[in-house]
Structure 1
Amino acid sequence: MNKHLKHWLIGLLIVAGIICIGIGSAGYYFYNMAVARGKKTFINNSSAIKKSDPLYREKNWYQGTKKLVWHETSATKHLKLVANYVPADKTTHKTIVIAHGFGGSSDKMGEYAGLFHELGYNVLLPDDRGAGKSQGNYIGYGWPDRLDYLNWIKQVIRRNGSQSQIVMFGTSMGGATTMMVSGEKTPKQVKGFIEDCGYTSVYDEIKYQAKSMYNLPEYPLVPVVSGINYLKNGYTFKQASALKQVAKNHKPMLFIHGTHDTFVPTRMVYPLYKADKGPKRLLLVSGAQHAKSYAHAPALYRSTVKAFLDRYFK
């Protein structure tokens, strides 16, 4: 081999190796930012409630109310999961299962627990794997969690009886989780779903956030992080598709999204709504930012949710 060509090839391999190491290092960095358990600097972790908050009453009620603690085992990895349960003031078989958002926990869903409790429902608020009091070292973005929520739903039926009627609700990642559950075979006691500002797929959302937050292109970073997630947690970001799951759903679903959402962009709700095969309704809350539809328009939000529940809860 020509001596100069040999040196050129060696140099090329060294450069390629450095690039691969750099991409791998960047992949692990963003895996830790996006997937690994821990506080996220771009998420508001404060638990303080301001009296100026339009949902102060609901949040304050949830902080102060007595909660029963339920336990469950995750569908994979055998993790210990924890949930808060608040029975309705008047005995009922009707229960809302509430899924929290990214970087959150059941403690961050007090306004929704308050809403459904005021409407007369039992409420169950699990901490996802990797969140709150539950075990786990990664955020599942709703995909492994969908199977955990099936376990929680079955526990509601065991505890409250075969006459149970259940609706699942979630916001943001919890909205995506709700849609992911809808594509599974759910017990007959599950009467419908309410999703608020969920994403089409984990891949779509992380691709969007890479560009929005860091001005980074899709390739090669997102596939690399997805690959790391597959090796660590057993699924790719493209597998984790709410869009494909709602296409298998035939139960009623209420879709909610704010028109000023720039975290899970509003445009994502349209293909989701179109793909869903069951009875459905779409509420677009004008001017609402991400996961702020209830706070932005409390009366509209409450009346729309109540009308949906009244129609499908008999």
Structure 2
Amino acid sequence: MKKIRWKKVIVLLVAFFVIFQIAGSFFFYNLAIKRGPKDFLTGNVDLKVSAETMDVFLNGDWIDWVEQQEFEEMHMPSRDGVDLTGYYLAAKQPTDKLVILTHGYLGHAKQMGLYGQYYHEELGYNIFMPNARGHGKSGGDYYGFGWPDRLDVMDWTKLLVGEMGTHTQVIYHGLSMGAATVLMASGENLPKQVKAIIADSPYQSVYQLFAYQLDRMFHLPAFPLLDNMSLLTSARAGYSLKEADALSAVQRATVPILYIHGNADTFVPTEMTKELFEKTKSDAELFLVDDANHGEAFVMEQEAYKRKVVEFLETHWSTSNLPIDLSR
């Protein structure tokens, strides 16, 4: 009788474990991957920034600048049929320089106007800001966390080069998820017009990011829950959490990469960027900002940030026709 009871207990425990894994996979897929509001990030201490930074994010003059510009709204179907949108703004003076600015998780294209204003007004660039799939006016019922988006940004590049001319010279500048996106693209056969990448606050892989957050927010181990969620993500969104891997991509990179990260980032640990930098095959530089949390570096050390971008471009790429003043 005791053996029978123990067998029942074991069967019940196994059944409970399986049900928990299945339910957990759907719960976390809906929580993080499925398109929609993400209330769990509201009030997240890891995303807390300084009052100065928050004021710039919410009330900075870049917001008025964005509203005053006459952006051309562009549309493009993705390779798997998702309608993508983006915003193009020509430089004031003709130039072959183009920066493609990729936003973060739950953001939208025009939020990159914080950086677009600098590139357009001070460096004289043409700028393009795409909405990632699942964000803004772009279609899609899931978030790609950079993996399908890496192909989208490459296709946007080809579309823009087709309109602007093959002489166009392109920089990718991404923030957070947008940074991971352009790093994942770095491992692909990039259009020859892409000359440099700037990655601000990137993560290594989606699996590693989720493992870190799963432990930090829910005190749960990654295995086997994330592995099961990865199978669900593959079935529903077309990619697995482990293949969405920037660390692997940068080991195949052929264009120079500037990494930027805040030393006080607790949402995406600074160590992730340090390892990305160390493993990058192409020329790479690392710029760390003390006391800056996630995505806060540009606001906290704006002049140093701008100066580093310019120095990086001057070192690794011909920028002779840019109106740059390094004395600022």
Query: Which deviates the most, 270-279 or 260-269?
Result: 270-279
In structure 2, what is the Cα distance between the partners aligned to 1:219 and 1:68? 46
41, 65, 71: which one pairs with 1:67?
71
Percent of aligned positions with the same letter in both sequences? 35
Would you say 1:113 and 2:116 are equivalent positions? yes
Distance 1:299 1:129, change over 3 A: same
SS at structure 2 position matched to 1:138: coil
Would you say 1:39 and 2:37 are equivalent positions? yes
Would you say 1:309 and 2:313 are equivalent positions? yes
Q: Deviations over 1:235-262 (max 9, x none)?
A: 2211111000000002111110110000
94, 99, 102: which one pairs with 1:99?
102
TM-score (norm 1): 0.92
In structure 1, what is the Cα distance between the partners aligned to 2:24 and 2:312? 45
1:11-160 alignment runs, 5 A limit: 11-41=9-39, 42=41, 52-53=55-56, 56-76=60-80, 78-118=81-121, 119-160=123-164
The answer on whether the counterparts of 1:191 and 1:313 sit within 8 Å (CA) in structure 2 is no
In structure 1, what is the Cα distance between the partners aligned to 2:31 and 2:165? 41
Unaligned segments of structure 2, at least 5 residues: 44-51, 320-328
Unaligned segments of structure 1, at least 5 residues: none
Q: Deviations over 1:108-133 (max 9, x none)?
A: 21201111112111111111111110
In structure 1, what is the Cα distance between the partners aligned to 2:301 and 2:152? 32
- Provide the aligned length of Structure 1 versus Structure 2: 307
Distance 1:211 1:105, change over 3 A: same
The answer on whether the counterparts of 1:250 and 1:276 sit within 8 Å (CA) in structure 2 is no
In structure 1, what is the Cα distance between the partners aligned to 2:63 and 2:293? 19
Q: What is the aligned partner in structure 2 of residue 227 from structure 1?
A: 231
The answer on whether the counterparts of 1:166 and 1:190 sit within 8 Å (CA) in structure 2 is yes
In structure 2, what is the Cα distance between the partners aligned to 1:296 and 1:88? 27
The answer on whether the counterparts of 1:165 and 1:313 sit within 8 Å (CA) in structure 2 is no
Shift of the alpha carbon at 1:18? Answer: 2.4
Shift of the alpha carbon at 1:103? Answer: 1.0
Shift of the alpha carbon at 1:43? Answer: 5.4
The answer on whether the counterparts of 1:183 and 1:245 sit within 8 Å (CA) in structure 2 is yes
Shift of the alpha carbon at 1:219? Answer: 2.2
Please provide the CA RMSD for this pair: 2.0
1:202-221 alignment runs, 5 A limit: 202-221=206-225
Would you say 1:188 and 2:186 are equivalent positions? no
SS at structure 1 position matched to 2:56: coil
In structure 1, what is the Cα distance between the partners aligned to 2:307 and 2:162? 31
1:230-241 alignment runs, 5 A limit: 230-241=234-245
Letter in structure 2 aligned against 1:115? Y
SS at structure 1 position matched to 2:87: strand
1:268-307 alignment runs, 5 A limit: 268-307=272-311
Q: What is the aligned partner in structure 2 of residue 266 from structure 1?
A: 270
